[in-house]
Structure 1
Amino acid sequence: MTTVSSPASLGTPPTVAQLLLGCETRIVHGQRWRHRIIEYGTGKPLILLHGSNGHADVFAKNMHTLGQDFRVIAVDALYHGFSSKEPWVSGFYKRLDIQAEGLLDLVDALDLPTVSIEGESMGAGIGLEFAYRWPDRVDKLILSTGFGSVDLEGSVYMRRNVPESELTRLSRVAVTQPSFESMRRRMEWLVASPESVTDELVNLRLRLYALPEIAEMMRRMSEPGDDEPTPKYQESDLAALTVPTLVMWTDKNPGDGPEIGARLASLLPNATLVVIQDAGHWPHWEQPAQHDAIVRDFLLGGPGAVA
């Protein structure tokens, strides 16, 4: 296990628009679905997948740095942002299956024989499902603060006596009672340092949620019972996932602490664990320099390589 930390950033933070200067945003039409992507750089492709209720822009801090070595493609997952939103299925874990199929649809449309994938939270679930079903299409996999449809012992999300997660409650309030304050509370759940959530970032998500089609999807996802755990995989199933994997966790991840990341890594036959200090659920946003260095070393090194 590697533990890293990063000093606090100084100065006024740049806006998302400033961070994405020079990146290309476009719509890709696959055989089945429409996909919005943000792209930068050349080299081996790296797909970045956001978490639940999110969008590709949350990787704005990482695009240029990672784009020095990779063709970085941040994606609006199915049901999110400006990507396709049908067919709708109720149930977080059921949707992961379709979202993984959506990722295959995109990878095929971009004519990419193989890709590396970093998924955060829900995105980790999509990446894990994709690697299970199409391992020959994955070079390396990064699971950031998430593990998808696995019945992982000790996880707060696997406790059957918890009727609703705090994140689902905050998401529902942000959708049904949209305001700057309710959206800020929702987004502050993601981070260890609330000040890292800028007013601009809150307003960006408020604007997205004001669009009727996106608002309807977010409302459906935050309905009570939608995140009721019905895992697809047991811990023993992880032995079949042989793709070189980096489990990226944080010391302040809400709910599931670094011990859950360690358990996940211990069950994967070809995995390395790294714990980033002073970060919550969004290490790519809170500690971008350390995040990007770790990702670069893992992808450019041999199997399991990490700085």
Structure 2
Amino acid sequence: MAGSVERWLPVTSTSHLAHDVAGDGPALLLLHSTVCDRRMWDPQWRILVDAGFRVVRCDFRGHGDSPAADRPYRDAEDVRDLLDALGIAETAVVGACFGGGVALEVAARWPDRVGALVLLSAAPPLTERSAALAGFEARTAGLLDAGAVAEAVELNVATWLGPEADGNTRAMVRLMQRHTLDVRLAAEEFPRPAADHRLTGIKARALAVSGGHDLPDFRETAAELARLLPQARHEELDWAGHLPSLERPAVVARLLVSFLREADTG
């Protein structure tokens, strides 16, 4: 049934990620920003299901309902395992920020499994930082070291949401980010092993989206991805901050559906 939702928890040996599945049709995987968890897709969920997709969203480890890691891991491999557990051989992938970086890794390492990519404010290379991003990270680390978790949450809300975000959206991000920080502070940290993958191996048609009010790192990354990927274009939303899908949900839902249908017929 197109409107049904199956709720899964990370209780199988093949998937460590809590996730939801709904709808019938081509698979569409939603990967969240680390500021949030899979609830960030609530505004688009029904629209994408009604548009005819089998929609999957998951929580990365230490986010939402997924437990923190108990060993070194890579998020892309967790995502691959989830697709295997659901019997999904190929999917379109929408990734926000860090989720966009994971989407790129999945598409590069297993190119036949990703038919289309939408990258919303995708994460920049870890070795490069603007002064603005480096300053944000230093301030966040200082607040967390001092035990000022609530202040760190407010810094994240102020940094990552643009002027279009209303009070309810800010409250939603505040809730998700506080949970993530609490889990992170209580858990043992495990380094993510380096992965050797090249973006030139990606076959999927891609749309790289940036926000006009976002930090320069993410705007530059979107423009660069449009040049690096074989079938990609860049679109900047002049009204958006870092999380456009939460700032103007209906506009972004229409953008997603339009691009994914175009990619499917192209």
TM range (shorter): 0.7 to 0.9
Partner of 1:294: 255
Corresponding residue for 1:5? none
Note the C-alpha offset of 1:32.
Answer: 4.3
Distance in structure 2 (CA, Å) of the matches to 1:47 and 1:202: 21
State the partner residue of 2:29. 47
Matches within 5 A, 1:102-113: 102-113=78-89
- SS at the partner of 1:302? helix
Q: Matched residues in 1 for 2:47 and 2:56: separation?
A: 13
Q: Structure 2: how far apart are the matches of 1:147 and 1:285? A: 17
- 1:251 pairs, out of 212, 216, 233, with 212
Q: Distance in 2 between matches of 1:272 and 1:141?
A: 11
Q: Report the Cα distance in structure 1 between the residues aligned to 2:180 and 2:105, rounded to whole angstroms.
A: 27
List runs of 5+ in structure 1 lacking aligned partners.
1-20, 90-94, 152-156
Aligned partner of residue 9 in structure 2, secondary structure = strand
Q: Is the aligned partner of 1:65 residue 2:47? A: yes
Instruction: Check the 8 A contact 2:36/2:177 in 1, yes or no.
Output: no
CA–CA distance in 2 between the matches of 1:60 and 1:122? 18
* Equivalent residues of 1:167, 1:186 under 8 A apart: no
SS state at 2:63 partner:
coil
**Aligned residue in 1 for 2:116:** 140
1:276-291 paired onto structure 2 within 5 Å: 276-291=237-252
Letter aligned with residue 251 of structure 1: G
CA 1:195–1:281 in 2, change beyond 3 Å: closer, same or farther?
A: closer
In structure 2, the partner of 1:184 is: 154
Find 1:79's aligned residue among 62, 74, 93: 62
Cα 1:232–1:35 change in 2 (3 A) is closer
> Which whole-Å CA distance do the structure 1 matches of 2:180 and 2:237 have between them?
30
Alignment counterpart, residue 101 of structure 1, candidates 59, 62, 77: 77
Partner AA of 1:63 in structure 2: W
* Aligned equivalent of 1:6: none
Amino acid of the structure 2 residue aligned with 1:139: G
Deviation of 1:121 after TM superposition, in Å, equals: 0.8
Q: What does the per-residue CA deviation read over 1:44-98, in whole Å, with 9 as the maximum and x for residues that have no partner?
A: 1111111124211111111111111212222101232222422444xxxxx6xx1
Cα distance, 1:182–1:121 mapped onto 2, change above 3 Å: same
Distance in 1 between residues matched to 2:142 and 2:71, nearest whole Å? 18
What's 2:18 paired with? 36
Letter in 1 for 2:59: D
Structure 2 residues not aligned, in runs of 5+: none
State the one-letter code of the partner of 2:230.
P
> Distance in 2 between the 1:250 and 1:178 partners?
27
Would you say the 8 A contact 2:76–2:105 is kept in 1?
Answer: yes
1:205 to 165, 176, 184: 176
TM-score, reference length from structure 2: 0.81
Matches of 2:219 and 2:194 in 1, distance apart? 21
- How far did 1:276 drift? 1.6
Alignment deviations for residues 3-24 of structure 1 (CA, whole Å, 9 cap, x no partner): xxxxxxxxxxxxxxxxxx9755
The answer to whether the aligner puts 1:117 opposite 2:93 as a matched pair is yes
Deviations along 1:145-189, one digit per CA (max 9) or x if unpaired, are: 1145x47xxxxx61498994514633663683233x542332221
Q: Does 2:199 align with 1:216? A: no
Contact 2:30 2:57 in 1 (8 A): yes
Q: d(CA) in 2 for partners of 1:35 and 1:73?
A: 11
Give the percent of matched residue pairs that are identical in Structure 1 and Structure 2: 24
Q: Cα RMSD between the aligned structures?
A: 3.5
Amino acid at match of 1:249: S
Q: Which residue number corresponds to residue 166 of structure 1? A: 136
CA contact (8 A) 1:30 1:108 kept: no
Shift of 1:300: 1.1
Q: Distance in 2 between matches of 1:88 and 1:172?
A: 26
TM-aligned CA deviation for residue 260 of structure 1: 3.6
